[in-house]
């Protein structure tokens, strides 16, 4: 991200930082806010652990509804 007196330019989120032809430039008068677009390690860990927990709970619910005793 490069911020000058009259423009903001950078590479869009989820694009390779090596894609120089992907760089976009926007006049600062058209920018009302900016958001930092990366995730930290704790955010990634929380997402993975949450997804695994949800999968286990769904499996337990399905097994309970089906009345399975040994195969689940």
pLDDT digits (tens, 9 = 90+) for 2-52: 889 999 998 887 788 888 889 999 999 998 887 776 778 898 899 999 999
Please, which residues have CB within 8 angstroms of residue 13's CB and are 6 or more apart in sequence?
A: 37
What does the alpha-carbon distance between residue 2 and residue 25 come to, in Å, rounded to a whole number?
9
> Domain-by-domain residue ranges, the chain?
1-37, 39-72
* Predicted TM-score (pTM) of this structure: 0.46
Residue 68: pLDDT over 80: no
Report the mean per-residue pLDDT for the chain: 87
23-27, 53-57, 64-68: lowest mean pLDDT where?
64-68
Could you tell me what percent of the chain has a pLDDT over 70? 90
């Amino acid at each position: 991200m490069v911020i000058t007196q009259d423009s903001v330019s950078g590479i869009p989120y989820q694009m390779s930082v090596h894609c120089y032809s992907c760089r976009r430039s926007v006049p600062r008068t058209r920018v009302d806010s900016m958001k930092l677009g990366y995730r930290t390690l704790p955010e990634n860990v929380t997402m993975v652990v949450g997804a695994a927990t949800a999968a286990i709970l769904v499996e337990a619910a399905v097994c309970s509804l089906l009345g399975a005793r040994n195969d689940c």
